[in-house]
Structure 1
Amino acid sequence: MDDHALDFNHLCSFESFRSTWNFYGYDGTVEDVIKEDFARIKGITYLDHAGTTLYPESLIKGFLQDMCSNIYGNPHSNNPSSRLTHDTVERARYRVLQHFNTSPEEYTVIFTSGSTAALKLVAESFPWKAPTAEELGSQFCYLTDNHTSVVGIRAVASASGAVVLPILPEEEHPADFVPISFYKMFGFPTGLGALLVRNSAAEILRKAYFGGGTAAAYLAGEDYYVPRPAASGRFEDGTISFLDIIALHHCFETLQRLTGGMDRIQLHTFGLARYTYMLLSSLRHSNGRPVAQIYSSTEYDDPATQGAILNFSLLNSQGSFVGYSQVDKLASLFNIQVRTGCFCNTGACQLYLGISNQEVKSNLEAGHVCGDNVDLIEGRPTGSVRISFGYMSTFSDCQNFLKFIVDCFVQGPVKVGKENVERLRSTIPSNTQQPFPHLTNGQPNCERREEEGNLSPAAKVTSPGVPAVTPGKRSVGSPGTLANIFLYPIKSCAALEVSSWPLGPLGLLYDRLWMVVNMNGVCLSQKQEPRLCLIRPQIHLATKELSLQAPGMDPVFVPLEGSSEKDLTVQVCQSKVCGDRVQTLDCGERVAAWLSEFLGKPCRLIRQSPNFTRDMKKGRGKVPGESPVSLSLVNEAQYLMINKASIKLLLEHINQRQGSDNHQHSDEQQLIDRFRANLVIWGKEPFEEDDWMNIMIGDTPFKVAGPCGRCQMIGVDQSTGARSQQPLQSLSACRNGKVTFGLYLIHQLPENEADTPTLSIGSPVIPQVSNCSSKAN
Structure 2
Amino acid sequence: MGSLHIQHDGHNAEVEKIREEEYPMLKDSIYLDHAGTTPYPKSLMDRFAHEMTTNLFGNPHSASASSQLSTQRIQDIRLRALQFFNADPADFDLVFVANATAGIKLVVDTMRCLPTGFDYAYHQASHTSLVGVREEARSSVCLDNRQMEDWLVGDCPLKEEEEEQRPILFAYPAQSNMDGRRYPISWSSQVRHSEETETIRNRKTYTLLDAAALVSSSPLDLSNAQTAPDFVVFSFYKIFGFPDLGALIVRKDSQDIFASRRYFGGGTVDMVVCLKEQWHAPKDGFLHERLEDGTLPVHNIIALDVAMDVHRELFGSMEKVAAHTGFLVRRLYRGLEGLRHANGEEVCTIYSPDPELEQTGPTVAFNIHNSQGTWISLAEVEKLAMLKGIHIRTGGVCNPGGIASALGLEPWEMKQNFSSGFRCGTDNDIMGGKPTGIIRASLGAMSTIKDVAGFVHFMEEFYREDTLPVSLPVLPSPDLDSDTKLQLQPPLQNTPELVVKSITVYPIKSCAGFSVPPDTDWEVRPEGLAWDREWCLVHRGSGQALSQKRYPKMALLRPNLDFTRGELQVTYAGAGEILSSSGPPSSISVPLSKNPKMIVPKKSGTDTEQRSTTPTEESQGPKPRRILLSNESPILAITTTSVDALNASVAALNPEAQRAISEAVFRANLIFTPSHSSSSYDPSSSPSSSPSSPSSPLISGDGLNPKLKPYEEDTWSSVHIGTNKHGFQMLGSCRRCHMVCIDQKMGEKISGGEPFVTLSKTRRFEGKVFFGVHMGLAEEENAGSGKVVKVRVGDVVLPQV
* TM-score with structure 2 setting the length: 0.65
The one of 740, 760, 781 aligned to 1:729: 760
Would the alpha carbon gap of residues 716 and 165 (structure 1) be closer, same or farther in structure 2, given more than 3 Å must change? closer
Greater shift, 341-350 or 20-29, is seen at 20-29
C-alpha separation between the residues in 2 aligned to 1:485 and 1:608? 28
Change (3 A) 1:545 1:215: closer
Counterpart amino acid of residue 367 in structure 2 = S
Structure 1 distance, partners of 2:427, 2:555, is: 30
Aligned residue for 1:283, secondary structure, equals: coil
CA distance 1:267–1:396, shift in 2 (3 Å): same
Report whether the alignment pairs 1:152 with 2:184: no
Q: Superposition pairs for residues 127-146 of structure 1, below 5 Å?
A: 138-146=118-126
Note the alpha carbon deviations across 1:92-133, whole angstroms, 9 max, x for none: 2112212112121121111112111111111110267798xx
Residue deviations 1:16-41 (CA, integer Å, cap 9, x gap): 99984632464732122112221122
Q: Is the 8 A contact 2:514 2:561 kept in 1?
A: no
Partner of 2:34: 49
| Offset, 1:494 | 7.6
Q: CA 1:736–1:342 in structure 2 vs 1: closer, same or farther (change >3 Å)?
A: closer
Q: Which amino acid aligns with 1:729?
A: S
- The alpha carbon displacement at 1:609 in A equals 2.5
Q: Determine if contact 2:728/2:775 at 8 Å carries over to the other structure.
A: no
Residue in 1 that maps onto 2:281 = 226
What percentage of residue pairs aligned between the two structures are identical? 30
Aligned match of 1:332 in 386, 392, 408? 386
Q: What residue number does 2:635 align with?
A: 641
Pairwise CA distance, 1:268: 1.5
Please tell me the residue identity of whatever aligns with 1:50: A
Cα distance in 1, alignment partners of residues 134 and 624 from structure 2: 45
CA deviation digits over 1:646-672, x for unaligned, max 9?
Answer: x86798799899999x9xxx99x9474
- TM-fit CA distance, 1:49: 0.9
Could you tell me which residue of structure 2 aligns to residue 61 of structure 1?
46
| Residue 627 (structure 1) aligns with | 624
Once the 2 structures are TM-superposed, how far is the Cα of residue 312 of structure 1 from its aligned partner?
A: 0.5
**Aligned partner letter, 2:281:** V
Query: After superposition, what is the alpha-carbon deviation per residue over 1:171-205, rounded to whole angstroms, capped at 9, x for unaligned?
Result: 52221111111222222223x22111111111112
Q: Which runs of 5+ in 2 are unaligned?
A: 150-183, 189-227, 478-484, 588-607, 675-707, 778-788
Cα drift, residue 462 of structure 1: 3.7
Following superposition of structure 1 onto structure 2, how do residues 588-603 of structure 1 map, counting pairs within 5 Å?
none
Q: Does structure 1 conserve the Cα–Cα contact (< 8 Å) formed by 2:124 and 2:144?
A: yes
Whole-Å Cα distance in 2 between the matches of residues 310 and 687 of structure 1? Answer: 37
Counterpart-to-counterpart distance in 2, 1:85 and 1:702: 72
Cα contact 1:697–1:765 (8 A) shared by 2: no
Match among 665, 668, 671 for residue 674 of structure 1: 665
d(CA) in 2 for partners of 1:738, 1:569: 39
Query: Which residue is equivalent to 1:711?
Result: 737
Give, in whole Å, the separation in 1 of the partners of 2:32 and 2:615: 36
Aligned residues of 2:382 and 2:392 also touching (Cα < 8 A): yes
* Residue aligned with 2:232, SS: strand
Q: Check 1:614–1:150 CA distance in 2 against 1; reply closer, same or farther (3 A cut).
A: farther
- Structure 2 Cα separation of the partners of residues 289 and 165 of structure 1: 35
- What one-letter code is carried by the residue in structure 2 that aligns with 1:355? L
- What are the Cα deviations for residues 733-763 of structure 1, in whole angstroms up to 9, with x where unaligned? 34674758655999xxxxxxxxxx9974235
Corresponding residue to 2:305 among 225, 231, 249: 249
- Which residue identity does 2:624 align to in structure 1? S
Task: Quote the Cα distance in structure 2 between the aligned partners of 1:701 and 1:68.
Answer: 71
Asked whether the 8 Å contact 2:34–2:444 carries over to 1, the reply is yes
Aligned-partner SS, 2:330: helix
What's the secondary structure of 1:208's corresponding residue? coil
CA distance in structure 2 between the aligned counterparts of 1:44 and 1:524, rounded to whole angstroms: 26
Correspondence for 1:432: none
Relative to structure 1, is the Cα distance of residues 340 and 412 closer, same or farther in structure 2, using a 3 angstrom cutoff? same
Match of 1:108 in 2: 93
**Does the CA contact (< 8 Å) of 2:503 and 2:515 recur in 1?**
yes
CA distance in 2, matches of 1:286, 1:277: 20
Provide closer, same or farther for how the CA distance between residues 246 and 659 of structure 1 changes in structure 2, counting only shifts above 3 A.
closer
Deviation at 1:52, TM superposition (A): 1.1
Aligned length: 619
Q: Report deviation, 1:139.
A: 3.8
Q: For 2:796 and 2:622, how far apart are their aligned partners in 1?
A: 30
1:24 touches 1:268 (CA, 8 Å); kept in 2? no
Q: Secondary structure at the match of 2:332?
A: helix
Q: How far apart, CA to CA, are the structure 2 residues paired with 1:462 and 1:378?
A: 21
- Aligned pair in 2 of structure 1 residues 335, 163: CA closer, same or farther (>3 Å)? closer
Does the 8 Å CA contact 2:99/2:247 hold for their aligned counterparts?
Answer: yes
CA–CA separation in structure 2 for the residues paired with 1:47 and 1:488: 37
Offset of residue 76 of structure 1: 0.7
Residue identity opposite 2:328 in structure 1: L
| Partner Cα distance (1:571, 1:657) in 2 | 36
The 1:391–1:322 alpha-carbon spacing in structure 2 relative to 1, beyond 3 Å, is same
Residue of structure 2 equivalent to 1:259: 315
Per-residue Cα deviation, 1:426-449 (whole angstroms, up to 9, x for no partner): xxxxxxxxxxxxxxxxxxxxxxxx
Larger Rg computed on CA atoms: 2
Q: Distance in 1 between matches of 2:615 and 2:2?
A: 54
Question: What's the secondary structure of 2:257's corresponding residue?
Answer: coil
Counterpart in the other structure of 1:601: none
* Alignment partner, residue 402 of structure 1: 456
Q: Distance in 2 between matches of 1:639 and 1:146?
A: 40
Query: 1:686 aligns to what SS in structure 2?
Result: helix
TM-score by length of 1: 0.67
CA contact (8 A) 1:534 1:721 kept: no
Q: Which amino acid aligns with 1:204?
A: I
Q: Which runs of 5+ in 1 are unaligned?
A: 1-15, 132-136, 414-460, 550-554, 573-606, 616-623, 747-756, 770-777
Say whether the 8 Å CA contact 1:641–1:680 is kept in structure 2. no
CA contact (8 A) 2:723 2:796 kept: yes
Structure-to-structure mapping, 1:298-697, within 5 angstroms: 298-301=354-357, 305-412=359-466, 462-463=469-470, 468-471=473-476, 475=489, 482-486=500-504, 499-500=517-518, 546=571, 548=573, 556=576, 565=581, 609-612=610-613, 626-627=623-624, 641-644=635-638, 670=661, 672-680=663-671, 686-687=713-714
Alpha carbons of 1:546 and 1:351: their partners in 2 closer, same or farther (altered >3 Å)? closer
Aligned to 1:278: 334
User: Structure 1's 268 and 486: CA in aligned 2 closer, same or farther, altered over 3 A?
Assistant: farther
Q: What CA distance in whole angstroms lies between the structure 2 residues aligned with 1:539 and 1:54?
A: 45
Cα 1:570–1:140 shift into 2, 3 Å: same
Contact in 1 for aligned 2:60/2:68 (Cα 8 Å): yes
Equivalent of 1:166 in 123, 138, 143: 143
Give the match's secondary structure for 1:212: coil
The equivalent position to 1:22 in structure 2, one of 1, 4, 7, is 7
Tell me the amino acid that sits aligned with residue 474 of structure 2.
V
The residue that corresponds to 1:442 in the other structure is none
Instruction: State how far apart, in whole Å, the 1-side matches of 2:321 and 2:434 are.
Output: 36
Question: Matched residues in 2 for 1:649 and 1:557: separation?
Answer: 35
Is the Cα contact below 8 Å between 2:556 and 2:744 reproduced in 1?
no
* 1:146 counterpart SS class: coil
Secondary structure at the residue paired with 1:194? strand
Question: What amino acid does structure 1 have at the position aligned with 2:314?
Answer: L
Taking the aligned partners of 2:12 and 2:390, their CA distance within structure 1 comes to: 26
**Structure 2: distance between partners of 1:299 and 1:407:** 25
Aligned partner of residue 466 in structure 2, secondary structure = coil
